[in-house]
A and B are shown apart, each in its own frame.
Chain A
Amino acid sequence: DAGVTQSPTHLIKTRGQQVTLRCSPKSGHDTVSWYQQALGQGPQFIFQYYEEEERQRGNFPDRFSGHQFPNYSSELNVNALLLGDSALYLCASSPGTGAGGQYFGPGTRLTVT
């Protein structure tokens, strides 16, 4: 049973560029949440997708956007990258209803230069 997978593992971008990160949820899960984890900090909630719509959103600017596809996979897009966007981006999946618990992927390490 595959867990949560994310791609790419690492990437380096330049200030002002745009980036797309991808996530495939754990089998049987239909809800995907995205978190940003700065070095030495706990993850911070960005947003959550369920039934292809954004269901919850954290305190992140509109430069951060996402999408969920019919197969429940998801993308995180960040526009106009800033140096401060450098972080580990984590995807977590969970069942939309019923038993709780969010399961995390290994993350994508984004470096903005």
Chain B
Amino acid sequence: GESVGLHLPTLSVQEGDNSIINCAYSNSASDYFIWYKQESGKGPQFIIDIRSNMDKRQGQRVTVLLNKTVKHLSLQIAATQPGDSAVYFCAETRDYNQGGKLIFGQGTELSVKP
């Protein structure tokens, strides 16, 4: 069936270093991939999305890379800060612009050491 999974359940980085969070997906029909950040006690917060016809998109301190050949998605966070500590989820969807359902992976917990 459809699934989105993450390679690493936990990631610990030093403050100021770059972080890379990886994700594998299995549904080739998805038209968008999205990264969410979830802090303890809060709902998921949108970080960045990428359309399936792109391979890279940059935001503020974040970059998402999409490799459709191997069905792999990654989130790069530059100069990681303590406030980046959270659980990160990748999600995939079809019919993004019609609010299509999101299929989430299990999540990666990012811990930033001062």
Comparing A12-20, A42-50, A68-76, the segment that makes contact with chain B is A42-50
Name the residue among B36, B44, B96, B99 with the largest chain A CB count within 10 angstroms: B99
Q: Does A102 contact B98, Cβ atoms closer than 8 Å?
A: no
Do residues B44 and A104 form an inter-chain contact, with CB atoms below 8 A? yes
Smallest CB gap from B41: residue in A: A106
- Report Cα–Cα, A70/B24, bound state, in Å: 39
Enumerate A55-100 residues with CB–CB distance to B below 8 Å.
56, 58, 90, 92, 94-100
CB A90 to nearest CB in B, in angstroms, measures 5
Other contacts beyond A50-B99, A104-B36: 19, CB < 8 A: A4-B43, A33-B102, A40-B106, A41-B106, A41-B107, A42-B89, A42-B91, A43-B89, A43-B102, A92-B43, A95-B99, A96-B98, A98-B97, A99-B97, A100-B99, A101-B34, A101-B46, A102-B102, A107-B43
Could you give 21 example pairs across A and B, Cβ below 8 Å?
A: A31-B99, A33-B99, A33-B102, A35-B102, A42-B104, A42-B105, A48-B99, A50-B99, A56-B100, A56-B101, A90-B43, A90-B44, A100-B98, A101-B34, A101-B96, A104-B43, A104-B44, A105-B43, A106-B41, A106-B43, A107-B42
Assembled-state Cα–Cα distance A103/B47 (Å): 11
A-side binding surface: helix, strand, loop or mixed?
loop
State the interface size on chain B (CB cutoff 8 A): 25
Shortest beta-carbon distance from A68 to chain B in Å: 13
* Complex Cα gap A92–B49 (Å): 16
Query: Which residues, 25 to 45 on B, are CB-close (under 8 Å) to A?
Result: 32, 34, 36, 41-45
B residues 4-61 touching A (CB-CB < 8 Å): 4, 32, 34, 36, 41-46, 49
On whether the beta carbons of A45 and B42 are closer than 8 Å, the reply is no
- Which of chain A's residues have a CB closer than 8 A to the CB of B43? 4, 90, 92, 104-107
